[in-house]
Structure 1
Amino acid sequence: MLRQAVREGLRASFHKLGHFVANHPVFFASAPVLLSVLLGASFSRYRVEEEVERLLAPKHSLAKIEGNLVDSLFPVNRSKHTLYSDLQTPGRYGRVIVTSRKGSVLEPHHADLVLKLHGAITHIQVPMLGFNYTFAHLCLLDDSKNCIIDDILRVLEEMRTARASNRTVPPLRYPITRLKDGREAYIGHQLGGVQTVGGGREGVRAARALQLTYYLQVASALNEVVAARWELLFCRELERFSAAHPELGLYPFTSSSLQRDFQRTSRVSERPLLFSLAACLSLAVLCSSMRDCVRTKPWLGILALVTVSLATLTSAGIFNLTGGKYNSTYLGIPFIMLGHGLFGTFEMLSSWRRTREDQHVKERVAAVFSDCMLPFTASTALHLVTFGIGASPFTNIEAVRLFCRIACISILFNYLYILTFYGSNLVFAGYLENNYRHSLFCRRVPKPDLLQQKPAWYRFLMYTHYNEEASEPGDLHVYENHLLVAFMKRYYCDWITNTYVKPFVVLFYLVYISFALMGYLQVSEGSDLSNVVATETSTIAYTRAQQRYFSSYSPVIGFYIYESIEYWNTSVQEDLLEYTKGFERISWFESYLNYLHGLNITTSLSRRNFTEHLRSGFLRQPRYLHFSDDIIFAKRADGEFDVVASRMFLVAKTTENKREEMSILLDTLRKLSLTSRVKFIIFNPSFVYMDRYASSVGAPLKNSCIAALFLLFFSSFLAADPLVNAWITVTVASVEFGVVGFMTLWQVELDCVSVLCLIYGVNYAVDSSVPLVSAFALGRDSTRTRWVKVSLERHGVPALQSYMCYGAALLPLAAVPSNLTHTLFRCFFLTALITAFHCLAILPVLLTFLPPSKKKRRERKNVAEHREEIECVEMADSTRVVDQITTV
């Protein structure tokens, strides 16, 4: 009883709201347009987000804390040349991968071209304020005030000098080689596609690629501007050099490449988005049209898209006014609004067709609001809750949080504009229909006897069905010449509920679950930044070359000992050597121990002797001088020096699953640091993106699903039957499970973009299933099969219309050359397809033999009616009038 009272109270409220909108159609049609125009003027404040790390890296992670600690000891900006990372190197820099199309890059001809390229790069001039800046003015300096260049360039120069003087070319070892000055250098990230002799220790036979990096320092705002300009000229110089020397392949990458290529998705999406709008608009007009020129509603199909566009413009204006910065992930917002708006508008149009034509327009609009707005409001509330959870401060990925925030604003205005703008236009369309005016030309249609006197083309354009008598509610015979209505009523409903079709539908569902499970078991996280950039860009070309030639070794891992330990203690030395065993190492500590062994000095010294040999002997040797940057000394109270912090560099051997292996290695070394008596941390700039990425990405989806589940549970008193929410929950779970599984089979990883699509998938499934299941649960006095057919007739057509329009809008998105839009298209398309499969096939079949039961409801209803039947009669005899006798 409480459920019915609340439900009827809400329906009555929406009935009054419909009356109110119908009484003031001009105001509700013009106010949203005026508000959208005013807020649209805020595009003068349009700004683009430039910090990709802020968007895509987890905000709160241990890696950021470790990075701050490392930066306080050994400034990362000064040591970034030693902490090599693929795409996440901090600061300004230019990088290029050089490949030989035939032969080895170490061949004399190719090596000379590489050195020539190096010379061209170092002579790039940036004119600024009357001065020409070159690499020498901008480069990162070492302790000797010389520009830091890659060690492989020194190797190539040594080889050229040796050939010029007819000397034997010194052997080049891999991945750690010894330079001319005796210094050992790691070149695993500078030399790729290597063929070695004796495992690399005896020499390199050939190499297919070289990687050169030019680090810039940014000491002031002027330096920042000049460095940014230098990066652009760097790319242009490489284009010219590549054209002049086609035997080399050049793949440039700079610090601004990732941000530029990330935002390029928006530019390359402009034309496909226009095609998307045109395709959706055309199909919406077709879905809203029918043969009857009075009852057809093509303008309402157009106005449905106009409503969504106005809501988009309004939310974008609010976003700009509140200081928001645009990024390419927002390309998914219009499609979320489109999916939400299409269900609402097509349900209203379908409900309009079920109203009595003899009623006044205001009554018909009020009936539409009463019929549609309760489930539409509930689904909108679910949108706001799920995206609101994602927009909370608990979301650790900034891109996800910002997307969910703007999605909440957009959905809210989409709902309000459908109530007001679309509702008022429904009033105008209703007056045209009531007065028998043509839906396109607004010209009154003659009655049949007058129409027969007109030419054939006129009769064709003005065809309609005149109703001389009032039609009954739900009498759809005048609308059966609508193609989809006729198809659903005459063919599909009987076919899907056929006894011989049901087993095949159930079998197909089991196949669907099997493939979804196969994909679900292969889900992988997608922390690779190339997943969110346009495809035809330098970032993708560089990433492919990087994966092809330089995937054998991990980024350089900094191993930082951040407190004073007993380096002279034998057990501590054994622990340190054990921790770093299995890695390729550039370690001052191991080199120092070898230095002591070379002098026949034991490594088990006193503190004073250990430190004295280190400062006065080891670090004064030219080949060990560079290790001075890796050790921090502090003077003790007794005047002696102590090593208070130090660092070493480790590189791990990796395979094709480089990022997964790095994530496992990061967790392993962190666990070791908690149990070790040597207090150390590890750091690389790429760890900022890896650390807690899986949990940070999955948390918004998990929280949104839990919030949706609680909302469905606590809103069960609004449903026609408690089992309605149970069916909706099962449907949503099945749809989400299928989308996750099939998107994995379609090579979509779980990243911030796909998670946003999955959050929307919860809402899309609810939008589709609520009207269908609610109509079935409200059915009385008939069989299950009959009410499944009625539900499909009433709500299957608007659902099918929205699927068709949404699919047409998504198809042009597949043509956008961007990994980000490919992810959006695949996830949205799978969501729409799987939801359509559930709502038009699975649910109708399952509801014919699973609860809620119609037989029990019919029996309960008959008993209730029998108990409540009251008969009042007046008895009279010949002498007097007897008072009323009541019988039950």
Structure 2
Amino acid sequence: MLRQVLHAGLRTSFHALGRFVASHPVFFASAPVLLSILLGASFSRYRVEEDVESLLAPKHSLAKIEGNLVESLFPVNRSKHALYSDLQTRGRYGRVIVTAAKGSVLDPAHLDTILTLHSQIYQMQVTVPTSTFNYSFSYLCLHDEKNVCIIDDIIRAMEEIQLARSSNRSAPALHYPITRLTDGRQAYIGHQLGGVQGWGPGGSVHGPRAGARGEGVRSARALQLTYYLQGRGELMDRVASQWEKAFCTELQHFAALHPKLGLYPSTSSSLKTDFQFSSVLARRPLLASLGLCGVLAVLCCSMRDCVRSKPWLGLLALLSVTLSGLTAAGILNLTGATYNSTYLGIPFVMLGHGLFGSFEMLSSWRRTREDQHVKERMASVFEDVMLRFSGSTLIHLLTLGLAASPLTNMEAVRLFCRTASLAVTISYIYMLSFYGSCLVFTGYLETGYRHGCFCRRVPKPDRLDSKPAWYRCLMYTRYQEETQNHREPHPQDSHLLLGCVRHCFGDWITNTYVKPFVVLLYLVYISFGLMGFLQITQGSDPSALVAMDTATVSYTRAQQRYFSSYSPVIGFYIYESAPYWNASVQQDLLEYAKGFQRISWLEAYLNYLSERNQSTSQPRENFTRTLRHLFLREPQFAHFADDIIFAERGQGEEPDLAASRIFLVAKTTENKREEMSVLLDTLRRLSLTSRVRFLIFNPSFVYLDRYATAVSSPLRHSLLAVLFLLGLSSLAVVEPLVSVWLGLTLLSVQFGVLGFMTLWGVELDCMSVLCLISALGHSADCSGPLLCGFASGRGDSRTRWVRVALERHGVPSSAEPSLCYGAALVPVGSVRSNLTHTLFRCLVLTAGCSALHTLAFLPTLLTFLPPSKTRGHRPEGEGPRQAVECVEMNDGNTRVVDQITTV
């Protein structure tokens, strides 16, 4: 009872709204245009998001907290001896990987060239517009305790080799991954030297003698250099930004002069620039998408009948979507929001939903009585379509709105869904107002018996006989014949898709011999979806979301090729005072670092004590005094002073070791990020049970930490919210079986898209999750009207109502939008960007799986599964009216029972 009351109230409200729009078409057509123009003027406030890490990394994660603690204890500026390029990367820097096309980068010719490059970068000068001072790297760099720029240890080792060769001395042995410099200091160069081959069998890197810390290097294919910059204040930050640009330009010139070397630069701003570059590359393809979609929309709105044909409505539907996007962008500009490349998916969310609404309204218009007034026809269209269109809009807003809530831990997902929710809301309003008023204007043209394209009055049949054949074909119509002779073919048969569905596809898909093959196809669909679902991988690497042929991609590929033998340097930070002089604590710390390549002050200090026949387990005062006054003053151990923080206790007492750090490096394989994720979880679990309070950190952990949960939780929340909404609406608005079928369809489409995108090589990252969230609304747009149309029928057979539902809703809600939507996606697939490739593949799968369910799976399954068509017969007194309904429905001149007036 409640369902009938709500249905009647909503249909009455939409009927009145349609009449109101039809009564004021000029206002509803001009107001959206003026509002869009006014808000579009706000593009002078257009701003691009600068912080890519905040977009692509989980917003709330333990790694970010640990990173802030590490930065407070051991800031980059505190390091006065050595820096590790893949550990301290939060400031400004310039980095380059140098590869040799032939031979080794340690060959004399290549070595001299690389040192020449280093000298040029060191002497390079830049200026800023507000200052006339020339800034060189020696001014911008981080300085050591002697006020000399900190450079990579591999540069010192290469300078030593060059000096030895120039003086005809034997070059010092270079070991890998830990080598010893001439000053006695041990340096880790695993992140600076790549593609290393040693003197062992088969080129393996084996130490020349047992017990050696390093391993002899025979040749190396790649070399990585890093130049750290200071960023103190706004002026220095702008100078550092200019230096990074000059750094890339200098490397381009140097690479042109030395073709035997390959140079792959990267700076602190490369990821941001290359991530936003996808938007620049996609500008023209988006315009091409709009053009292709417009052509298909015009064809879908055209009929052979020149009066009923409304090609302009296809373009006006796209104009409505464009105006709503312009309005939404204007609101974002006025509110100070920023843009990023993930917003490239928002036009397609709007396009899919807008095409569904426009084609449904046009299809309903064609089913109204042509002898009615335009206002009555418009009111009937709103009464018939707007309930379904509003329901699908509500599903869009619910899925996007929940993903835009503070529950979402991924900032890129939250911002995308917030903006998409705004765009869908405005698109819904403009579809009611602007497109509705355009439908009113074309209705008046149809009433005046004017051509749907040229707006010229069509001559009567007797006047057309004297015209040429091309003119008669152009002005072909059966308007008057159909109103007088009901034996003529159905007027909608002049529409190609509708005629095919009415006479061919509907009968074929419901054929008894076709159904088993469709069921078998669905089982194959589920099987391949499951195969892909079991192979889902995380896409936590931010370089997988940038444009191709950019510095970030080239640098990442070179790094994966030459520097994948070892993990990035992991900082092992002991952030509380610990009894390092205790033998059991020493044993625990040494056990934790066992199996890693390590640079450890504690291990070096214990070896130092052992070499001097001193006990490693000493009283605190003796242990600290020897550490401060003897060990750290040795030249080969002086750099460990950067790794220890002392805290004063009192006058005359030795200070405590408040905090310290050691550096660990793990041996890795090709799956570097997966191994780093496992290593992170393992060491964190160990830190919970350890007596020594420690944490581990590397900047890449910010992207790895809880990434799978942060990415997948918005999708789970949106899916559960939609299922809850469908369950709640089944109590009051829609029939329960419709909600059940729609929920199962959404789950099936999501499962298929998720599985097939994995088989297509798409990882689960923020962009693919955004597409999956929007796929919920898209699949509801396609399958919802078909299910409602089938469930609303009573009597007759299931097969007949499936055919009726396909004719009424299969074409306007699935076939026509899918054709236009697919055409719009074609240019996007040609953009040279990883982000747009992910977008293209996910949206193509979404459109394909949704259309497959609407046009194949559901029509077949509904012929032998509930809801039943034997319930809901009318009383005997209404038998004649029911017979009239069946006749009128087959004839197609009426749309609903309320419009039947005569028999």
Name the SS of the counterpart of 2:262 in structure 1.
strand
Cα distance in 2 for partners of 1:636, 1:471 equals 106
1:286 corresponds in structure 2 to: 299
Question: Which residue of the other structure, out of 740, 746, 750, is the alignment partner of 1:726?
Answer: 740
> Which of 588, 593, 607 is residue 601 of structure 2 equivalent to?
588
Matches of 1:81 and 1:805 in 2, distance apart? 62
Question: Quick one: which amino acid aligns to residue 673 of structure 1?
Answer: S
Measured after TM superposition, the shift of residue 845 of structure 1 is 0.2
State the Cα deviation string for residues 413-450 of structure 1 (Å, max 9, x = none): 00000000000110000010011011122111111112
2:214 maps to 1:201: no
The corresponding residue for 2:36 is 36
1:255 to 252, 258, 268: 268
In structure 2, C-alpha distance between the alignment counterparts of 1:715 and 1:83, rounded to whole Å: 60
Alpha-carbon distance in 1 for matches of 2:489, 2:341 = 45
Structure 1 residues 87 and 519: CA distance shift in structure 2, 3 A: farther
Quickly say closer, same or farther: Cα 1:643–1:513, change in 2 above 3 A.
same
Change (3 A) 1:787 1:81: farther
Identify the match of residue 748 of structure 1 among 731, 744, 762: 762
Aligned in 2, Cα 1:720/1:326: closer, same or farther, shift over 3 Å? closer
Q: CA deviation at 1:472?
A: 11
SS at match of 2:183: coil
Confirm or deny: 8 A CA contact 2:48 2:340 kept in the other structure.
Answer: yes
Q: Structure 2: how far apart are the matches of 1:298 and 1:430?
A: 13
* TM superposition shift of 1:243: 0.8
CA distance 1:591–1:567, shift in 2 (3 Å)? same
Give the SS at the match of 1:620.
coil
Q: Can you list the C-alpha shifts for 1:235-281, whole angstroms capped at 9, x where unaligned?
A: 11111111111110000001111111111111111111111111000
**C-alpha displacement at 1:132, in angstroms?**
1.8
**Paired position in structure 1 for 2:885:** none
- CA offsets, 1:692-731, max 9 Å, x none? 1111111111111111111111111455521001000000
SS of the residue 2:372 aligns to:
coil
Tell me, in whole angstroms, the C-alpha distance in 2 between the residues paired with 1:707 and 1:85.
45
Distance in 2, Cα, partners of 1:586 & 1:110: 29
Distance apart, 1:385 and its partner CA = 1.0
Tell me which residue corresponds to 1:466.
479
Map 1:823-834 → 2, pairs under 5 A: 823-834=838-849
Contact 2:482 2:491 in 1 (8 A): no
Q: Distance in 1 between matches of 2:310 and 2:478?
A: 15
1:436-455 pair list within 5 angstroms: 436-455=449-468
Are 1:694 and 2:708 an aligned pair? yes
Q: What is the rounded CA distance, in whole Å, between the counterparts of 1:639 and 1:445 in structure 2?
A: 106
Correspondence for 1:547: 560
The counterpart of 2:800, out of the listed 779, 786, 789, is: 786
The answer to whether the 8 A contact 2:82-2:152 is kept is no
Distance 2:728 2:647 in 1: 64
Q: Is the 8 A contact 1:174 1:200 kept in 2?
A: no
Structure-1 residue corresponding to 2:50: 50
In structure 1, runs of 5+ residues without a counterpart are 870-888
Does residue 644 of the first structure (1) align with residue 650 of the second (2)? Answer: no
Tell me, yes or no, if structure 1 residue 151 matches structure 2 residue 157: no
8 Å contact from structure 2 (residues 80, 642) kept in 1? no
Give the distance between the partners of 1:47 and 1:682, measured in 2 at CA.
Answer: 36
CA distance in 2, matches of 1:209, 1:280: 48
Alignment correspondent of 1:850:
865
Superposed CA deviations along residues 291-314 of structure 1, whole A, max 9, x for unmatched, are 111110101011000000000000
The answer on whether the counterparts of 1:104 and 1:208 sit within 8 Å (CA) in structure 2 is yes
TM-score scaled by structure 1? 0.95
Rounded to whole Å, the distance in 2 between the matches of 1:659 and 1:505 is 41
2:283 equivalent among 270, 286, 291: 270
What CA distance in whole angstroms lies between the structure 1 residues aligned with 2:841 and 2:592?
A: 44
Helix, strand or coil: the match of 1:623?
coil
How far apart in 2 are the matches of 1:88 and 1:467? 80
* Equivalent residue in structure 1 for 2:163, among 150, 161, 164: 161
What is the match of residue 797 of structure 1? 811
Q: Which residues in structure 2 correspond to 1:259-338 (within 5 Å)? A: 259-338=272-351
Q: Equivalent residue of 1:209, what SS?
A: strand
Cα 1:536–1:476 shift into 2, 3 Å: farther
Residues in 1 aligned to 2:43 and 2:194: alpha-carbon distance in whole angstroms: 47
Sort the Cα spacing of 1:19 and 1:117 in 2 relative to 1 into closer, same or farther, 3 A: same
Q: Distance in 2 between matches of 1:730 and 1:620?
A: 72
User: Which moved further from structure 2: 446-455 or 259-268?
Assistant: 446-455
User: What's the RMSD between the two structures over aligned residues?
Assistant: 1.9
Residues 1:842 and 1:227: Cα distance change in structure 2 (over 3 Å)? same
Q: In the TM superposition, what is the alpha-carbon distance from 1:469 to its structure 2 partner?
A: 6.7
Contact 2:87 2:699 in 1 (8 A): no
Q: 1 CA distance for matches of 2:636 and 2:857?
A: 73
Quote the Cα distance in structure 2 between the aligned partners of 1:158 and 1:574. 37
- Percent of aligned positions with the same letter in both sequences? 67
Instruction: Report the Cα distance in structure 2 between the residues aligned to 1:475 and 1:675, rounded to whole angstroms.
Output: 85
Relative to structure 2, which stretch is displaced further, 560-569 or 637-646? 637-646
Q: Classify 1:78/1:357 alpha carbon distance in 2 versus 1 (closer, same or farther; 3 Å).
A: farther
Question: Counterpart of 1:854 in 2: which secondary structure?
Answer: coil
Change (3 A) 1:556 1:73: same
1:225 is matched with: 238
Which of 839, 856, 859 in structure 2 is aligned with 1:841?
856
Query: Partner letter of residue 118 of structure 2?
Result: H
Aligned to 1:130: 132
Distance across 2 between alignment mates of 1:173 and 1:732: 58
- CA–CA separation in structure 1 for the residues paired with 2:845 and 2:310: 30
Match of 2:895 in 1: none
User: CA shift at 1:468, angstroms?
Assistant: 5.8
Hey, what's the Cα distance between the residues in 1 that align with 2:478 and 2:259? 73
Q: Deviations over 1:478-504 (max 9, x none)?
A: 121111111111110011011111111
Q: Does residue 497 of structure 1 match 2:510?
A: yes
Alignment partners' CA distance in 2, 1:64 and 1:80: 25
Task: Give the letter for the 2:439 counterpart.
Answer: L
1:608 aligns with 2:621: yes
Rate the CA distance shift 1:711–1:577 in 2: closer, same or farther, 3 A.
same
- Name the structure 1 match of 2:213: none
Map of 2:901 onto structure 1: none
Counterparts of 1:809 and 1:345, CA distance in 2? 16
Q: Tell me which of 819, 824, 840 is aligned to 1:809.
A: 824
Residue identity opposite 1:822 in structure 2? H
Q: Structure 2 regions of 5+ residues with no counterpart? A: 209-215, 883-903
Distance, in Å, in 2 between the alignment partners of 1:168 and 1:641 is 45
Q: How does 1:404-803 map to 2 (within 5 A)?
A: 404-467=417-480, 470=483, 477-637=490-650, 639-798=653-812, 799-803=814-818
Whole-Å Cα distance in 2 between the matches of residues 850 and 250 of structure 1?
Answer: 64
Following the alignment from structure 1 to structure 2, what is the Cα–Cα distance between the partners of residues 10 and 647?
67
Question: 1:474 and 1:839, CA in 2 relative to 1: closer, same or farther beyond 3 A?
Answer: farther
Distance in 1, Cα, partners of 2:52 & 2:739:
41
Q: Which residue of structure 1 lines up, in the alignment, with residue 191 of structure 2?
A: 189
Matched position secondary structure for 1:208: strand
Q: How far is the alpha carbon of 1:687 from its aligned partner? A: 1.3
Equivalent in the alignment of 1:885: none
Corresponding residue SS for 1:378: helix
1:836 is aligned with what amino acid?
A
TM-score for the superposition, normalised by structure 2 = 0.94
